[in-house]
Structure 1
């Protein structure tokens, strides 16, 4: 009755997308829920992705500010306008979990055909409101949307628990803020003055902010490497090409950048364009710097392996191949047998037949390493034809 009275089109209606969609990144960074988004993603978002569902956070007006999930599921969700910037208030989209949860100020579950709009009836969803723990002001809503598997009592219980956990975390942060004040009575944030990033020979990036250490996800690691390589910044479109091996939507990029900003801090990562605003020290950049000044021995010592060896992100693959080739060429050109031996002892250089051949030529005849180099060169020649 409420949906019909609001004039929602039951047959062909879809949630409208706000005109200010370009301002969503700024609205997210200013919204109180940005402080608990990483927690909600950890306890709910990752579980939703494993079930081919999406997690969304919306403001008190029903506008979705965060929508995260697997790219293939996000693309399907976008077909019904379940995307960042869309307004899912009940008066705009009819009966649905985020909108009805906000309307009733209570956790609700809407299964398939219970949706008012027919185009949404292949989906099920569960949502719960989130309040300011001190003022009880309605801040927004957390939701899980997916297929029929979402329409279970367990999903609703999980969403309700995540909302209560977010409120508890907001209360804790408020208490910490009151405990860390300046003489003027203002909250004094712990600013990050720089980043130390290690990514050589690792499946992910280890980040040290000076006050804490973080181990990033594979995707965030790839994005951070792109940003470190592009100090002037990149657009969302460029990031989608450079950090993703597959085609992705800009909403996927924005969601990942929101998560990364939540982890690193708003003072570290800026948008328009996306860029790092603090100095960055990185192990792969150190290797390049040492090669630039001709210190091959030091560069090889600092090289702990290929850059994110498992990554298939185009920019990471290019940078990984470039760095390894530069270092290899420098070792070959050095004519230093010790450096060549060190290269072939490493797992990434063990099958480098040219390096073994060069060793065999320049090692002294009485060196015990020369027969080893000659034998390994012959073995690899036979192996690879």
Structure 2
């Protein structure tokens, strides 16, 4: 990604001449062009309007489908947003901000650009911005600094992902993280993407019960274990990646989209189709469909179970089934992003819990043994003067001294 100064220069050139420099990302350049066509404002004279009053907003939120997923958003985004000084927001499909949460200082800063509940942050109203642009393009978007079309928003960065109805596939709204430059970093993108999927899973669970019989275990192992009606088999690493992707992509994927989710190196369609043919031979037509590729039966999975338990605040139960990172050796982009987001979510919940048993389990596991913050949190909740407290303090100091 270009630096803030480079983007500022590119933005100034574009607004003066409509010339796009080569390093401007296509998703941003396309948005800028739409902003010109739609005559979006470039300064504080055209800040997004707060067009819903308190009563109207309350009624709109109460009737909106995403209201039922609000506990998921609060549970999974509240901690990360507070810790980083960011705000998180949930919009409807028109870009109206339904909920904006964060610490008071961050909310006060956001208010100066009308990033508040009831304001319209569609791309046409606010210019290029992560939630508004994600609603236009239909996939997760990050906007960094001067990539925003409106100059007032240049001090901010953001990541957002659309949320779809699990039955119809229509976009219901977007989930967004807004803050400093880290709000447009890899973790932020993975987080909003995972939270959007968690919200969609919550909505799906409310609308249709999952039939028992198909279960996936992929935490802490490089080869997923699939159980279908009591029959258990271990899949190859590649088939494990495909199964995880399909389990999370409830509406199915085309061969082209599946190729993008599985590899950063371009995969030929023949390669993808060959892999799917081999996987169908293992799973059978009753479980694996095509055009698009999708699982034909509802499934339960340990990785989605952890997310659901965290959304309910059941950290102990989540840790009980968290056997480690999702397919830890996988380099598939989709799996890697979800793995990072999931690990950060459960880590944050454990550190915030203050539960000595959970903290001990975390630092005793391979994925948490070098986590200095976790050792510090454990030390803070152990009796001072005890041998365990001294060991935890010493381990934390050793990790901090050795940190780059």
Could you state the TM-score of these two structures normalised by the residue count of structure 1? 0.49
TM-score (norm 2): 0.47
Query: Rg: which structure is higher?
Result: 1
